[in-house]
Amino acid sequence: MFVSALWGLWHLPLLSFTSVGGFIVLALRVVLGHVVVGVFLSFGWRRSGNLGVPAIVHAFIDAVRNTFLVG
C-alpha cells in the first residue's frame, strides 16, 4: 500500500488543479485510487507469479481511463 501511495504522489505533477484546496483533494483522490488499484495488481502478481498479469491489467485500466477522459 505504501508503494502504491508513493506512485500516486509521483503522478501528481502530471495533473492540473486550480487551488490549494483543490490540490489537497486531488492528491487524496490520486493516492487513494493508486492504493486501491495497486493492492489488486499486487495480488494478481502474487497469485500468478508473473509480472505480465498486472502489466496487462494496468494497460487495460489506462486504456479505459484514456478513452473516457481524453475523448
Alpha helices in 1-71 (DSSP H): 2-11, 20-48, 52-70
Grid coordinates of 16: 492540473
The structural domains of the chain, with segments of one domain joined by +, span: 2-70
Separation CA 7–CA 27 (nearest Å) = 11
pLDDT tens digits, 45-66: 999 999 999 999 999 998 998 8
pTM: 0.69
Grid coordinates of 1: 500500500
pLDDT tens digits, 3-49: 888 878 887 776 666 666 777 888 888 889 889 999 999 999 999 99
